Structure 1
């Protein structure tokens, strides 16, 4: 009995010892998994691990010295290196580069080779090498031997090639990010990223909770889902843009009960919206199946996903109204359903939103659908937390309801491109203190507020194009100090531009005030603005062009009243687009334009420029000067002179060139075919060019538009025109042509400028304006020159031609027999030449023809009939001036025409023979009358002439008599 207390005490001591042991182990575990900050105090790191890190750095390319702290004995203080608090082992290596996906374009990243010396870090649990540039390198296989890893991020570091299956050895891995989406490398070449042909290695990662394989090519793997289904504790699965080929309808036994985030976007699965396996994952909180071409009605299964917080169904072909059981989604915060075919009333859609989540709903993103009707005048349940409302690009009508002004959390209101009308007052906007973006463009909304109204919000984007703001300049804009994007184009403003506007717009990056009646001058302080894009076109701005903002890339000042010369210093070295047509700019073209090495589109047409085009090669030898970037150049309708600009030799990317309606002279240089090999559009009409068409011009294989009309070009058409593939076959460079007609960045964010509206083409007998469709125009116009010879048969190979004009030249011979091969030609003009022979019967095969002119030639014979020839307007005028033609539509009957004599050469030779006899006869008669009149009035000349004739007669008589006597004597002998 006495030992009982001792036993109890011993038991208690044992329990305390066990507890201390467990606490020590827990503390040890905690210390091992925690890591020191690089700046923490510690005596030193493990020497062997320091050596491994130094060997790792030696294999890297670190030109910007991103790792300057990697020196000294204590590696735990180095940048990106984290050590255990207790053991001083390196447990974490975080060398993530700058996130250029969020706008950071810094090139301060690591590159080179990833050394296997990392294997010396036996305790490494965290490795992040993302956002670097291991260009064209494969993911190293040895990473699969870092068995202690819990976290591995290799995303967006430009790896390529096969993903090593050795990663399946990382059985402790909880986080794996292999997002190596397709990218464009530094040298602008395209790389396809990484791929895998077998992902069974994933099934061994039994601890995995987060898997991101965005952009990894999995196109060869059909049965990918059973492998993923083995990851029973997976919470996040991101398989966007993986080229997946299938999406099973269901899983017999789903292990993905913990899955909360699923991204299958951009796989283009092209299947019915239901059945699909993911509709059964009722634990999902975030589902993205956008850009997959799912079709059919909106699935009713959506209503079963009661845990869903964010649902993205965008860019599919789902039709009808959203399902009524959407009301079950009481946790819904964000709904993205853009670019589908919701074809119902907007009021009905609002009624189907879950009432139980209306206080939670934050983003409603429904642009590019077929929503109709008016917005509801009232809401049963207010959307108190709504921050995004985007209903743009639909078919909404009616007024903007006042309840919009009650959405106090609203930061983005986008209703552009509908049929909304009515008036928006201060009551719509006065309580939107959080608003950052107001986009109402392309509606008929009038914004009517007091001139003294001060907006409650500081907006960053205002887009009100085609709304009604005028006639006075909207004064409420002066209070917007943080604007980045402002569009008040076509808003009926008829006012002088106030000085305060330039202050308010000083921080704007994209500024558009085009198509108003705004007067005034561009400010001298314009160079201090931050704009990247400016469109002031179609106004009444006057004065000279000031120095431009240094950040500016795109400027459109066309259709204004600008005067004075072009600036000697534009002040915008990165300028890419400069459009100044339809102004009154005078003087010469300055050499400062040649300093704009990024300039791609330049239009100075319809001004008063004179002199020769400045030659940038004056101060720089042609061998040292770098090429210009220009792809579109127009000097049309000025008073420029001199020879074809030699500057263009430094424009190898030129696609559009228009020098028409100037006073350029001289012969066309042969270097055009070599130096301007990218040309597709060449217009030189109405100048004074002379000489022959250089044969080298036919080296321009992409040429699809050539206009040399109204010059003094002589010689014949080269037969090598058959090499113009832009006219012989359908062009495949429409993307390049469209880019040449647009401004702004290549990411597609910027809208096309109005430059395409500046194209006119003389076709079908009249000048026509062309806009974007100019890229489809195939034209050959050589009219009003001095060209001679026959029209070559090779012209019939230019089967893509829509307009062919060879009129007012000196072509002879016959019309090519194969002219009927030009099946796409809409306008054909061969008038005012010396063409002869019969009209080819193949002409009736031109079913696209709407205008034909063969007048004033020497054609003869019966006019062919049939097909499109019978539908042409004013048919008689087509053939006037050809007296040898007969048959309908002419009144001349072919039976009354004289039959041609067999064997005689009719046509052109017959016409020449008639002309010869007429000339000989008239000359004979004229000669007789001259002699007769002379002898009639000059007696002395008449006596002398007859005396001479008598003497000549006597001499001839004697000579004949003597010769005859001598001949007879020889015969008798």
Structure 2
């Protein structure tokens, strides 16, 4: 099939060119003097940094027919062709021609071939005078740096057979000028902007000689129907990477001479059209990157001569269709990233002509059979990202033509890395292999020195396994290696110095191993092409001289947790191409040098967190920065201004001080891209300003642990994308602004430790995505609104330490996330992974089991309700016991009465339960023995009676959990009587129900009046003692209240 396509292209070009052997001009006579001068003038206007046209000189004996890129007529000496395309553009942009295109080319009256492709004319327009080169049969201006509107004068070139204008900076208003090119056989306008050319199909359909049409990535959005088809000669059609988002057009499947059809990445939906009209010539099909679904039509399976079928990146599922078994001529089969769930069908193992098999990214199961060894023609085999089990088949050794093997991300049983490597080189010559990926394949053991036999490897990925031992020294022998990834293993020892011999290496990733020792300049001796070095998560020390100049220009550098101190490496200032720099927890300290802040202006990602850096931070208002993480250092001074391009900014846990107004109100007219802002745990003061209108992309705002005062600004209601608002532990006051109800995406609201007043606003119940609600330690009052029960996703509710009254709403049983398992498997509530380099997880501080705990990594698994230290009355609703997923429940220090719900044992996941300092009575329910996860229980200081139920859990608790009641039995020393209940008469004698006891306690309180007020002054000046005493006083008041009532 490939030969057929090549033949078509050769015939197209052959009709317009002389044999390429004439390019050197050795067989041509002397060139025309006028044309020679025209070429010299043309050269004079060009920029030629690589001196490609050095042979173009004006000496009398210089024959222009012998010049580089010039082809002349053998008899007349007229210039026929100019081959000035840049074949080295991908390797070296300095070889590109540029400058201006001189009109002197018009003197080349016989010019029929002009190639200026892959140069850099730096945005000039395609010269209109090209339309006067009427002898042209071949014109290639693709990727030449031309820009703007394609001149319609090109429509005058009626002799054109080949026209290539592919460049993303070119555009057209319409294609009417193409309609006159009746001899055109090859049209390529890939990447040019044709979005306004609604006539593109109408015009191209009328080109009777057209054999190839390439409109890749042209911004086309509509593909109309075609009642009359004139594409009689069309053999190759490529409409890939456009945005049709419709059904596939049926007329495409009526093109009888079509050989190759590429419709990938077009947004096509639904099934592939059925009943095509006689397209038996078709050899290559690429429908990948669409939204296609089943069924695959039968006609497709009847194409036994089809050599290439690509249906990757669609929504095809079920078993791999058996109809493909008929397509025995296939050389390329690509079904990657679909929804196939079957095993590899047995018939597929018999496709001996198959050269490329790509089934990656599905849900394929079972074992890979040993008959995989029958695919003896296979060159590319990618089975990665599936659910294959069993062992990696040893029969892979029979695939002697294999160049590219990827078995990554499967569920293979544990295998030895050394055995796999040795077996792959045991039968066939291992020097054929160029790409080997076995990441996350459950490999263990050591990596053998036999890896040196794969001497032509350019890509080696063994990441995500359990390979241990030293890194083989022989890796340094793989002289063609471009990418090496052995991250996330258990390699130990030092980094071998032979790594420095890999002259072709561009990407090196040794992150997350157990490597140690010193890395010196020797390790980088010949790594002049190195672009990315990732070595985070190792205990290594970088030891280079202060004057060291590395041979490389890095783009990405990750040295997290290395020992770099005490200073930032001086050689970094010479890294002019650096985009990503990650140096957290590296022991660097001191004031950041000016050159480093200058370097940061070119970075997209900067992380120097968790060090001991100090001083003021310069403004970073220029540059392409996306992520800036300076958190957990010792920086001081005012907050720096940052570029509007920044997406994530972390300046937390330092000593920044002063107002935040300059930061938020600077450049108010400029919209900000920031969506994550963490300024927590600093020394910031003053009010939060009303400048939030231009920060509407914010999703996370964290000001916790500062000294901010005043109200929450109303303009925060503009943050419609806000998901997390954390303002805890400041000095904020007033009522919550009603404008916050506009922030309907809120998942986390943590306003604890402030001085907010008023009642809980009813609109909070409308925040349906809310997962965490924390108003702990404020001055809220009033009752809990029933609207709160609408928060069915709520996992954490903390209203402790306020003045909330009323009863516990019985509708709390509607908190579905506290009752059933979460729909999400993620342990994180909000996780931000910025371009796989910046990572931020929203955290919450909860008081559980009597102590403060910060939850971050597993916050999504935590469920908690804390209503303690309020003045809530009434009973504990039986409905609370339906919250079966609740792990922490604290109702202590309230005025709750009645009995503990009898079904409390249903809450089997509860780990911490605190009902202390209330007025609960009755017995402890027997069902409490079912709480097998319970590790913290406090029922102290209530009016509970009777025997403590017997269970391993309850009897293992400290007796302080039960004191201040009328209970008996272990762990208390009080033994129970025969009836296991203290007699009612005794209870009455010991209780608080006698009138005499009431007056006794009242007079006792009055007797201590003067002593109390004297002591109070001392308490008010000593905060820890005042907290202890306030809780003691609360218990006394509850006792008195209980006596009187």
TM-score band by shorter chain is 0.7 to 0.9
**Offset at 1:242?**
3.5
Q: Distance in 2 between matches of 1:583 and 1:590?
A: 17
**Offset at 1:28?**
9.6
**Offset at 1:165?**
3.0
Aligned partner (choices 963, 969, 979) of residue 880 of structure 1: 963
- Whether the 8 Å CA contact 1:811–1:835 is kept in 2: the answer is yes
1:439 aligns with 2:534: yes
What's 2:799 paired with? 708
- TM-score computed with the length of structure 1 as normaliser: 0.80
- Whether the 8 Å CA contact 2:378–2:402 is kept in 1: the answer is yes
What's 2:976 paired with? 894
**Offset at 1:546?**
2.1
Task: Look up the SS of the partner of 1:885 in the other structure.
Answer: strand
- Whether the 8 Å CA contact 1:45–1:89 is kept in 2: the answer is no
What's 2:166 paired with? none
Q: Distance in 2 between matches of 1:202 and 1:914?
A: 94
Q: Distance in 1 between matches of 2:881 and 2:922?
A: 18
Aligned partner (choices 444, 447, 462) of residue 343 of structure 1: 444
What's 1:914 paired with? 994
Aligned partner (choices 682, 689, 695) of residue 590 of structure 1: 689
Q: Deviations over 1:25-78 (max 9, x none)?
A: x979975999887986657699xxxxxxxxxxxxxxxxx996513235735499
What's 1:931 paired with? none
Greater shift after overlay, 309-318 or 362-371? 309-318
What's 1:687 paired with? 778
When residues 860 and 218 of structure 1 are mapped into structure 2, their CA distance, relative to the original with a 3 A threshold, is: closer
What's 1:753 paired with? 840
- Whether the 8 Å CA contact 1:507–1:529 is kept in 2: the answer is yes
- Whether the 8 Å CA contact 1:837–1:908 is kept in 2: the answer is no
When residues 816 and 435 of structure 1 are mapped into structure 2, their CA distance, relative to the original with a 3 A threshold, is: same
- Whether the 8 Å CA contact 2:256–2:277 is kept in 1: the answer is no
- Whether the 8 Å CA contact 1:681–1:703 is kept in 2: the answer is yes
Q: Distance in 2 between matches of 1:40 and 1:595?
A: 47
- Whether the 8 Å CA contact 2:923–2:947 is kept in 1: the answer is yes
What's 1:955 paired with? none
What's 2:751 paired with? 659
**Offset at 1:733?**
3.8
What's 1:21 paired with? none
- Whether the 8 Å CA contact 1:553–1:744 is kept in 2: the answer is no
Q: Distance in 1 between matches of 2:349 and 2:528?
A: 51
Greater shift after overlay, 447-456 or 537-546? 537-546
**Offset at 1:417?**
0.5
Q: Distance in 1 between matches of 2:997 and 2:350?
A: 104
Aligned partner (choices 391, 395, 398) of residue 486 of structure 2: 391
Q: Distance in 2 between matches of 1:330 and 1:900?
A: 88
Greater Rg by CA: 1
- Whether the 8 Å CA contact 1:126–1:149 is kept in 2: the answer is yes
What's 2:98 paired with? none
Q: Distance in 2 between matches of 1:701 and 1:245?
A: 35
What's 2:722 paired with? 630
- Whether the 8 Å CA contact 1:198–1:221 is kept in 2: the answer is no
Q: Distance in 2 between matches of 1:118 and 1:75?
A: 19
Which sections of structure 2, spanning at least 5 residues, go unmatched? 1-9, 18-136, 141-151, 161-168, 190-199, 1004-1045
> 1:227-626 maps to which residues of 2 (within 5 A)?
227-232=324-329, 234-247=330-343, 250-251=346-347, 254=350, 256-257=352-353, 259-276=354-371, 278-318=372-412, 319-320=415-416, 321-322=419-420, 324-327=422-425, 328=428, 329-346=430-447, 348=448, 350-352=449-451, 355=453, 357-358=454-455, 360-377=456-473, 382-524=477-619, 526-566=620-660, 567-569=663-665, 573-616=672-715
When residues 222 and 734 of structure 1 are mapped into structure 2, their CA distance, relative to the original with a 3 A threshold, is: closer
1:159 aligns with 2:268: yes
Q: Distance in 2 between matches of 1:907 and 1:157?
A: 82
Task: Look up the SS of the partner of 2:725 in the other structure.
Answer: strand
What's 2:884 paired with? 799
Greater shift after overlay, 771-780 or 631-640? 771-780
What's 1:104 paired with? none
Q: Distance in 1 between matches of 2:587 and 2:997?
A: 74
Q: Deviations over 1:848-894 (max 9, x none)?
A: 1111111111222222222310121x2x2112112x32233333333
Aligned partner (choices 944, 951, 955) of residue 866 of structure 1: 951
When residues 73 and 150 of structure 1 are mapped into structure 2, their CA distance, relative to the original with a 3 A threshold, is: closer
**Offset at 1:922?**
11
Q: Distance in 2 between matches of 1:396 and 1:633?
A: 42
What's 2:250 paired with? 141
Q: Deviations over 1:889-923 (max 9, x none)?
A: 33333339998889x9x989995642368659999
Task: Look up the SS of the partner of 2:253 in the other structure.
Answer: helix
Q: Distance in 1 between matches of 2:370 and 2:188?
A: 51
- Whether the 8 Å CA contact 1:230–1:255 is kept in 2: the answer is no
Q: Distance in 1 between matches of 2:821 and 2:298?
A: 47
Q: Distance in 2 between matches of 1:268 and 1:228?
A: 20
When residues 859 and 324 of structure 1 are mapped into structure 2, their CA distance, relative to the original with a 3 A threshold, is: same
1:94 aligns with 2:179: no
Q: Distance in 2 between matches of 1:510 and 1:920?
A: 71
Q: Distance in 2 between matches of 1:920 and 1:632?
A: 52
Q: Deviations over 1:205-256 (max 9, x none)?
A: 35433221113444345553x6355342x33221212433445575599564
- Whether the 8 Å CA contact 2:223–2:249 is kept in 1: the answer is no
When residues 714 and 398 of structure 1 are mapped into structure 2, their CA distance, relative to the original with a 3 A threshold, is: same
Q: Distance in 1 between matches of 2:582 and 2:450?
A: 33
Task: Look up the SS of the partner of 1:528 in the other structure.
Answer: coil
- Whether the 8 Å CA contact 1:376–1:401 is kept in 2: the answer is yes
**Offset at 1:495?**
2.1
Task: Look up the SS of the partner of 2:732 in the other structure.
Answer: strand
Q: Deviations over 1:364-415 (max 9, x none)?
A: 1111111111123456x82221111111111101011111111111111111
When residues 400 and 200 of structure 1 are mapped into structure 2, their CA distance, relative to the original with a 3 A threshold, is: same
**Offset at 1:843?**
1.7
When residues 424 and 413 of structure 1 are mapped into structure 2, their CA distance, relative to the original with a 3 A threshold, is: same
When residues 915 and 275 of structure 1 are mapped into structure 2, their CA distance, relative to the original with a 3 A threshold, is: farther
Q: Distance in 2 between matches of 1:889 and 1:880?
A: 10
What's 1:70 paired with? 175
When residues 510 and 819 of structure 1 are mapped into structure 2, their CA distance, relative to the original with a 3 A threshold, is: same
When residues 32 and 753 of structure 1 are mapped into structure 2, their CA distance, relative to the original with a 3 A threshold, is: same
State how many pairs are aligned: 830
Q: Deviations over 1:818-847 (max 9, x none)?
A: 211111111111111111222222222211
When residues 32 and 435 of structure 1 are mapped into structure 2, their CA distance, relative to the original with a 3 A threshold, is: closer
Q: Distance in 2 between matches of 1:159 and 1:442?
A: 44
Q: Deviations over 1:915-971 (max 9, x none)?
A: 368659999xxxxxxxxxxxxxxxxxxxxxxxxxxxxxxxxxxxxxxxxxxxxxxxx
Greater shift after overlay, 690-699 or 236-245? 236-245
Greater shift after overlay, 118-127 or 712-721? 118-127
- Whether the 8 Å CA contact 1:554–1:743 is kept in 2: the answer is no
What's 1:743 paired with? 832
Task: Look up the SS of the partner of 2:932 in the other structure.
Answer: coil
- Whether the 8 Å CA contact 1:180–1:215 is kept in 2: the answer is yes
- Whether the 8 Å CA contact 1:837–1:858 is kept in 2: the answer is yes
> 1:94-243 maps to which residues of 2 (within 5 A)?
94-97=214-217, 109-117=219-227, 119-135=229-245, 137-167=246-276, 169-181=278-290, 193-221=291-319, 223-224=321-322, 227-232=324-329, 234-243=330-339
Q: Distance in 2 between matches of 1:576 and 1:229?
A: 53
What's 1:720 paired with? 811
When residues 634 and 661 of structure 1 are mapped into structure 2, their CA distance, relative to the original with a 3 A threshold, is: same
Greater shift after overlay, 487-496 or 684-693? 487-496
**Offset at 1:180?**
3.1
Q: Distance in 1 between matches of 2:228 and 2:652?
A: 61
**Offset at 1:519?**
1.1
Which sections of structure 1, spanning at least 5 residues, go unmatched? 1-25, 47-63, 99-108, 182-192, 618-624, 924-973
- Whether the 8 Å CA contact 1:229–1:254 is kept in 2: the answer is no
